[in-house]
Amino acid sequence: MELIKIYQGKVVSARELHSFFESKERFSKWFDRMLSYGFEKGRDYTPYQKVHPQNKQTVTDYHLALHCAKEISMLQRSDLGKQARQYFIKCEEALQAFKQNKRLEYWEKLESVKGELKKYILDKGHSHDNYLQIDYKGRRVLFNGEPLPDEVLPNILLTARSFAIEMSNEFLKQSKTESLDDISEIHTNNHEDVRNLMQENTGKLPEEYEEEEPIKKGIEEEGDD
């Protein structure tokens, strides 16, 4: 049940929240009072213009981040405020679970393409250690130094790794390359290409992203229930 409308899965209208609280205080005065608690423009809230549904006049409203809407609810000191706070807590939990599920999906994709690369290397008569060394070299190139473990990568880096390995797998299938040195060069070149692509399209390099909770830990916890 949607108690308070959440737009784009992450923001709430300040005017609609004010209306839910059934506050008799004028919206502009109420919101200015809320801002006095230290909320930051651009991080906690973002102003925008909309047409008022009753008088059809253009008014200023504010997109509130979920954490901001939750904190404002706590400040109301009313039953409706408590109700809204519990609602936003549940919404944040649901959003976090969704993100974790998507990350697990990206992780499983990465594990699948890594498995294909390992199988190719083993089928050519090389060892598991050879596979680990080749993939480690690719990871080092992607991060331009010591890489983060795959299990702590955020979604964008899980995707980047998968893309680089898929390119390696596709090239190896077509070329049927057997030399370890050649396989390693192909793999490192693809990771370098993905690194350059990320910098060009996002303005960030892989090593600038922060690690996240290990995905394996999440899998183990789900399995223990």
pLDDT reported for residue 224: 38
In a domain, 149, yes or no: yes
Considering its fold, how many domains does the chain have in total?
A: 2
Query: Do 54 and 110 belong together in one domain?
Result: no
Range of the domain at 53: 11-77
Instruction: Kindly report, residue by residue over 98-148, the tens digit of the pLDDT.
Output: 667 788 889 889 999 999 999 999 999 999 999 999 999 999 999 999 999
CA dihedral for 5, 9, 15, 21, sign (positive or negative): positive
Query: Do 165 and 213 belong together in one domain?
Result: yes
In a domain, 47, yes or no: yes
**Averaged pLDDT of the chain:** 90
Which of 66, 70, 76 has the alpha carbon at shortest distance from 33?
A: 76
Query: Do 176 and 220 belong together in one domain?
Result: yes
pLDDT over 50 at 218, yes or no:
no
In a domain, 215, yes or no: yes
In a domain, 60, yes or no: yes
Query: Do 118 and 215 belong together in one domain?
Result: yes
Which of 82, 43, 49 has the alpha carbon at shortest distance from 64?
A: 43
Query: Do 124 and 202 belong together in one domain?
Result: yes
- Residue 26, token pair as written in the block: 């004028």
In a domain, 177, yes or no: yes
Query: Do 52 and 106 belong together in one domain?
Result: no
pTM of structure = 0.57
3-class secondary structure, 9: coil
In a domain, 86, yes or no: no
pLDDT reported for residue 216: 60
**Contact between residue 195 and residue 142 where contact means Cβ atoms under 8 Å apart:** yes
Query: Do 115 and 168 belong together in one domain?
Result: yes
Query: Do 112 and 39 belong together in one domain?
Result: no
76, amino acid identity: Q
Instruction: Kindly report, residue by residue over 7-52, the tens digit of the pLDDT.
Output: 877 899 999 999 999 999 999 999 999 999 999 999 999 999 988 7
Question: pLDDT-derived band of residue 62, with 50, 70 and 90 as boundaries?
Answer: very high
Query: Do 28 and 138 belong together in one domain?
Result: no
In a domain, 180, yes or no: yes
Decide which of 45, 77, 109 is a domain's last residue.
Answer: 77
Query: Do 149 and 220 belong together in one domain?
Result: yes
Query: Do 43 and 112 belong together in one domain?
Result: no
**Contact between residue 13 and residue 63 where contact means Cβ atoms under 8 Å apart:** yes
Query: Do 139 and 59 belong together in one domain?
Result: no
Decide which of 42, 77, 112 is a domain's last residue.
Answer: 77
In a domain, 94, yes or no: no
pLDDT reported for residue 1: 60
